[in-house]
Structure 1
Amino acid sequence: MTVKKSLVLVLTLVVVLTLAACGGNKNGNNASSNESPAASADNGAAEATGKLADIKKAGKIVLGTSAEYAPYEFHKNIDGKDTIVGFDIEIAKEIAKDLGVDLEIKDMDFGNLLAELKLGKIDFVIAGMTPDAERAKAVDFSKIYYEAKQGVLVRAEDNAKFNTMADLEGKAIGVQMGSTQEKIAQGIKGAKLKSLGKTTDLVLELKSKKVDALIAELPVAQGYANTNSDLALTAISPEYENSGSAVAVNKGEAGLLAEIQKTLDHLIADKKIDQWVSEMTAVSEQ
């Protein structure tokens, strides 16, 4: 009987230890399961950091632009109220809509846009900006959303004098400060550059004969020629290796840039940008 009792006791202990081990394994599995959602939550939190998270938390995205560059962005009196419009503005509205936030627009000189972006005073830039190598050192760009040729604007009375790029040599040329057009003008032999922050001011310089010509993107130059009988668009078409416009965000804001690119992709696929260019060109000429 003593042997039998001992055997029963041993078997009982084996069963207890086995059940305890199973219970331990079960608890271990639960612990592992509990860690997984926590890890997922941590990953989700990581995805929500950066400028994109700040924008969604604030419920608004702040656009930096230079609103005197029709049809890209410009001021227009609508229902008695000064309003910033343009096809770049329509793009910005669509980006805000896709992010589920409001759009705030900050208007400033073109040359200040990237500095304000770096300081965090604006969240992104849309201003007919060309993503050249120099700018790309400071900020990240989307893919090109609109390609435009360059144009040369002169006084109508002088139009016959300007037929080729050589005719611009040695002339006083107005360009927007910090722009692609400034770089083009810097390559013209003997050209005397007048760089200002606003195209509207440059047009006044042209009309008052302080400069001989202006270089601007073709839709802009065409718009001024169409609405000013004393100005004319020449046949000259300056070339620049980096053309087209892109959206700028601060370096490292991959999440925000990816969301912006999604919006641009569907707008390009749906040909909405081409539609807005036509519509806003017409609005700028009214």
Structure 2
Amino acid sequence: MKKSIKRLVAASVAAMAIFAAGCGSKTTPTTAPTTAPSATIAMSASLKKIKDSGKLVLGTSADYPPFEFHASVDGKDTIVGFDIEVAKEIAKDLGVTLEIKDLKFDGLLAALDQGSVDIVIAGLSPTEERAKSVDFSIQYYSAEQAVVVRGADKGTLTTLESLKGKTIAAQKGTIQEDAAKAVEGATVLSLGKISDLILALKSNRADAAIIEVPVAESNVKENTDLVISSIVIKNEGEGKVAAVKKGSADLVVEVNKTLERILADGTFEKFVLEATQLSEK
């Protein structure tokens, strides 16, 4: 697992370097430059709200270990994960406190648009459709997709073609849902939480579930009747970004400064390893 995490973090650093050089893929819209905005430009409403309130309100969906999840810390239920640690660093650099709102994933961008959260960090991938309503940070993490199946089906569900006529579970509003919809002849079962996907597999409501690799590994470890199949999902838009309200270029600049710092000095890799270890307890 550690080798996998290190490889993914290395890919993230490489992706950041490409982003900084001005390159982007079809599914990764160009983010705002990381140089400071001109002093003549008024502070955006988003950044002003954060500064005036003295807090950064994070929107996340805490069912996605090791990104964000619930754990008992000193006997208290706490939202933890490497995305949460990233948000703490951003708040610290902004000189404000962090407030966390745990929401369903498919409601996060609406909450951002409505102003009930200031930033979304939730294993979020940049897509052209999402870029119409939000501004993205640079990519800070990259991961692959896995197809989880029941152990009894490991030998028969081995290719995308073998999923024809099958039911694939995926989290609603995610790129995994898009990937499931792209499987020819399959039925897609869209659900709100990762735990719902696992339950659908175990109760035979679904034959397979598309889940991001570190999250899939965490859940398979907890459910020994499930396995990660040999099915390969094409990776598109798998890089992870933070999102802020559209028109908040100055806030993007501040977020990017923090991301660049923690990616460059090894802090982010430390967050990933610690969150992975905690999720495996």
| TM-score normalized with structure 1 length | 0.82
SS at match of 1:128: strand
* Structure of higher RCO (CA pairs closer than 8 Å, 6+ residues apart): 2
Query: Following TM superposition, by how much is the alpha carbon of 1:50 offset from its aligned partner in structure 2, in angstroms?
Result: 1.9
Residue of structure 2 aligned with 1:169, choices 146, 164, 167: 164
Query: Is it true that 1:133 corresponds to 2:128 in the alignment?
Result: yes
Indicate conservation of the 8 Å contact 1:152/1:213, yes or no.
Answer: yes
Alignment partner, residue 212 of structure 1 = 207
Alignment partner, residue 191 of structure 1 = 186
Question: Which one is further off, 107-116 or 162-171?
Answer: 162-171
Alignment partner, residue 60 of structure 2 = 65
SS at match of 1:51: helix
Indicate conservation of the 8 Å contact 2:44/2:248, yes or no.
Answer: no
Alignment partner, residue 254 of structure 2 = 259
**Percent pairwise identity:** 50
- Deviation track 1:36-57 (CA, whole Å, cap 9, x = no partner) reads xxxxxxx969544521121111
List aligned pairs for 1:24-103, cutoff 5 A. 47-103=42-98
Alignment partner, residue 11 of structure 1 = none
Alignment partner, residue 28 of structure 2 = none
Indicate conservation of the 8 Å contact 2:177/2:190, yes or no.
Answer: yes
Alignment partner, residue 226 of structure 2 = 231
Distance 1:188 1:208 in 2: 22
- Deviation track 1:58-105 (CA, whole Å, cap 9, x = no partner) reads 110000000001110011111221110011001001001111110000
Query: Following TM superposition, by how much is the alpha carbon of 1:241 offset from its aligned partner in structure 2, in angstroms?
Result: 2.5
Q: Which amino acid letter does the alignment assign opposite residue 229 of structure 1? A: T
Alignment partner, residue 221 of structure 1 = 216
Indicate conservation of the 8 Å contact 1:184/1:240, yes or no.
Answer: no
Gaps of 5+ in 2: 1-37
- Deviation track 1:88-125 (CA, whole Å, cap 9, x = no partner) reads 00100100111111000000110000001000000000
- Check 1:167–1:273 CA distance in 2 against 1; reply closer, same or farther (3 A cut): farther
Query: Is it true that 1:245 corresponds to 2:256 in the alignment?
Result: no
Gaps of 5+ in 1: 1-42
Question: Which one is further off, 197-206 or 116-125?
Answer: 197-206
Name segments (4+ residues, structure 1) moved above 6 Å: none
Indicate conservation of the 8 Å contact 1:171/1:191, yes or no.
Answer: yes
Distance 1:144 1:239 in 2: 19
Distance 2:112 2:203 in 1: 34
Alignment partner, residue 143 of structure 1 = 138
SS at match of 1:126: strand
| TM-score normalized with structure 2 length | 0.84
> RMSD over aligned Cα, in angstroms?
1.4
Q: Which amino acid letter does the alignment assign opposite residue 226 of structure 1? A: K
Larger-Rg structure = 1
SS at match of 2:46: helix
Distance 2:120 2:213 in 1: 21
Which one has a larger percent helix, Structure 1 or Structure 2?
A: 1
Indicate conservation of the 8 Å contact 2:149/2:209, yes or no.
Answer: yes
Residue of structure 2 aligned with 1:104, choices 69, 88, 99: 99
- Check 1:174–1:55 CA distance in 2 against 1; reply closer, same or farther (3 A cut): same
Q: Which amino acid letter does the alignment assign opposite residue 160 of structure 2? A: M
- Deviation track 1:227-286 (CA, whole Å, cap 9, x = no partner) reads 211111112231132221100001100111110000000111123222222221111111
Distance 1:204 1:129 in 2: 23
Distance 1:45 1:102 in 2: 27
Indicate conservation of the 8 Å contact 1:131/1:242, yes or no.
Answer: yes
Distance 1:120 1:80 in 2: 32
Alignment partner, residue 275 of structure 2 = 280
Indicate conservation of the 8 Å contact 1:72/1:86, yes or no.
Answer: yes
